[in-house]
Amino acid sequence: MPTYKAPVEDVKFLLNDVFHMERYGNMPGFADASPDVVAAILEEAAKFAEEVVTPLNRVGDLESCTRHPDGSVTTPKGFKEAYRQMIDGGWVGISVPTEYGGQGLPATMTTIVSEFIASANLAFSMYSGLTQGAIAAILHHASPAQKQTYLPKMTTGEWTGTMNLTEPHCGTDLGMLRTKAVPQSDGSYKITGTKIFISAGEHDMTENIIHLVLARIEGAPQGVKGISLFIVPKFFVNADGSVGARNGVMCGSIEHKMGIHGNSTCVMNYDNATGWLLGEANKGLNAMFTMMNEARLAVGLQGLTQSEVAYQNAANYARDRLQGRSISGVKAPDKPADPIIVHPDIRRVLMSIKSCNEAARTLVLWTALRADIQRRSDDEKARQAAEDHMGLLTPVIKGMLSDTGFANTVAAQQVFGGHGYIGEHGMEQFVRDARITMIYEGANGIQALDLVVRKLGRDGGRAITAFFNEVSAFVKANGDEAMKPYVAPLAEALAQLQQATMWFMQNAMKQPDNAGAGSSDYLHLFGLVALAYMWAQMAKTAQDKLKNGANGSEERMKAKLVTGKFFMERVLPESAAHLKRITTGADTMMALPADAF
């Protein structure tokens, strides 16, 4: 059975030492998040994730969700009870404003707790994860009355939320969607259509489910400009807040998927279901993107979570499994063979994953703090800069961390040899579960296109310029000998990223396919630079701590310096190949006729 240990010390290092969370004390919620409070939350969340949620991971995979003839869905054994503990612990709403029953803590805290729970059990974590996305959409776009109706129960987790975008013939291209909304005299709408791939679409864990549904109001324009977002509760909500009659929405079937079996991925049939407009008519995409951007960051994080738990189990196995002898001489003469962690190729795998995971976690928290600034700062310029940052980094985090996360679960599985391919050790489940992160909330090819075509040039390139300036300033400020192993490779990769950006400016206007042809490589090049920048910051912090007194964390700080160096030497060199591919352009790629494939 796989195990999981939440990286509490690593998170504290990032919040306290690298990002100095105490400096944000003037923003709402941050004053309440003192180091002691944070530490207590981390310990509690770790305990819940490790002891309650982890043991259900394999159960969920083996058992899956079951749809009954009446359309109801049963979640795997133990899910309902564990979810009850989620509610009792108040985990869903820790960052929701107190006026709706939340704790008002920084969104960063939700991000951290989400990491722990998703590492423990990705399928389980999605029920509350989607609720948090739905809460965000309602918070920012709904009417005061709608907020009062839905938010309190969603904040406690007593009701869950869903996102309904995809239809059989349209996923990426939402302009083609057919679900229709017919206005009623009372201001509501009758919604009819079929949605597919709806995570947590139906289940038995809560008394109500609040569906957010994209649909086209009768007579609205074709394409994305005629799409509206609706709130469609599974059960109507009575005036007193209690749950009333059943609405016309039903789970038609559950998809048979490669992984995340513990989550009910549903075909949802809307048959004259009653819905209420959320935000303005025909501006549904706008509201949906609030939710979507939260979800995209969450999915990037999910990539990390599977890589992290797979890594931990691979490291344990590598320390325990005896096989062969070290090529540099016997290391465990008292044993029939050496533990496989002595073999360089096993180390290569473990170091690669470790060096990606720790930087990925840093990147996620760095961006989560920006999300808090965007929402909570009273400094307009800071809010604007944070928004720019979020727009730019969202596709990078989603694409890079899910691609890397998946590749790393595969690498961790490899450490187990044949034992990784069978169900028993749980490694193959991590791979199957991680695979979805590259696909949902916009496949990674779409993230790359969003980055290159929409985000780079926005506002005259203000976001990318700010990013370049920030990294350059760090490089310039840390030119000393000790930081050279970190800063020199970072500077080189940054220059490559700048060159690639310039190349797009010069070549994508006259031939737009050049942008598409290089987009995925650009996203990965950007991701590498971002991760390298995180390592440079961690290395600086570790060096400072080792110089000024590390308070018992000496070994961990030394390990940071080694791991960061490994990243620079072994992971980052990929950047040059990305640049080379980008500057090759689209000509060869697009040369063949479609029937030559």
Cα–Cα distances in angstroms (integers) from residue 37 to residues 22, 30, 40, 480, in the given order: 12, 10, 5, 37
For the bound state, the minimum distance from the C-beta of residue 410 to a copy of itself, rounded and expressed in Å, comes to: 8
At its nearest, how many Å lie between a copy of itself and the CB of residue 529? 15
Q: What is the DSSP string of 344-358?
A: HHHHHHHHHHHHHHH
Q: Residue 99 or residue 173: which is nearer to a copy of itself going by CB?
A: 173
The catalytic residue among 202, 358, 428, 441 is 441
Shortest reach from residue 178's CB to a copy of itself, in Å: 11
DSSP for 91-154, written as a single string: -TTTTS-GGGT-----HHHHHHHHHHHHHH-HHHHHHHHHHHHHHHHHHHHS-HHHHHHHHHHH
Two tokens at 130?
A: 């989607």
> C-beta of 414: minimal distance to a copy of itself in Å?
6
Q: How crowded is residue 580: how many other Cβ atoms within 10 Å of its Cβ?
A: 12
Amino acid at residue number 424: E
By beta-carbon proximity to a copy of itself, the closer residue of 380 and 597 is 597
Query: Closest approach of Cβ 339 to a copy of itself, in Å?
Result: 7
Q: CA angle at residue 215 from 210 to 221, to 5 degrees?
A: 155
- By C-alpha distance, which of 180, 283, 168, 158 is closest to 233? 158
- Smallest CA-to-CA distance from 72 within 195, 205, 189 is with 205
Please, how many CA atoms are within 13 Å of residue 321, restricted to the half-sphere of its CB? 18
Burial class (CB in 10 A: 0-12, 13-18, 19+), 20: exposed
Q: What is the 3-state secondary structure (H, E, C) of 355-388?
A: HHHHHHHHHHHHHHHHHHHHHHCCCHHHHHHHHH
DSSP structure class, residue 542:
H
Residue among 186 and 555 whose Cβ is closer to a copy of itself:
555
CB of 570 to a copy of itself, least distance (A): 5
CA–CA distance, 27 with 33 (Å, rounded to integer): 10
CB of 315 to a copy of itself, least distance (A): 4
Q: Is residue 63 among the annotated active site residues?
A: no
29-46 in b/e form (b: 16+ CB < 10 A) is bbeebeeeebeebbeebb
144 or 418, CB closer to a copy of itself?
418
**Residue number, 96 or 568, with CB nearest to a copy of itself:** 568
CB of 543 to a copy of itself, least distance (A): 16
Which residue, 104 or 171, has its beta carbon nearer to a copy of itself?
Answer: 171
Q: Decide whether 224 or 237 has the Cβ nearer to a copy of itself.
A: 224
Closest CA to 106 of 305, 303, 369: 369
Residue 37, amino acid = V
The secondary structure of 23-79, three-state, reads HHCCCCCCCCCCHHHHHHHHHHHHHHHHHHHCCHHHHHHHHCCEECCCCCEECCCCH
Give Cα 585 distance to the centre of its chain.
30
Nearer to a copy of itself, 16 or 326 (CB): 326
Nearer to a copy of itself, 10 or 388 (CB): 10
Question: CA–CA separation, 424 vs 84, rounded Å?
Answer: 28
- Asked if 149 contacts 210 with a C-beta cutoff of 8 angstroms, the reply is no
From 237, 238, 232, 262, select the one nearest 250 (Cα to Cα): 232
Q: Tell me, rounded to whole angstroms, the distance of Cα 554 from its chain centroid.
A: 31
In whole angstroms, how close is the CB of 591 to a copy of itself at the nearest point?
5
For the CB of residue 161, give the shortest distance to a copy of itself in the complex, in Å.
19
Residue 110 vs 362, nearer CB to a copy of itself:
362
Active centre residues (catalytic): 441
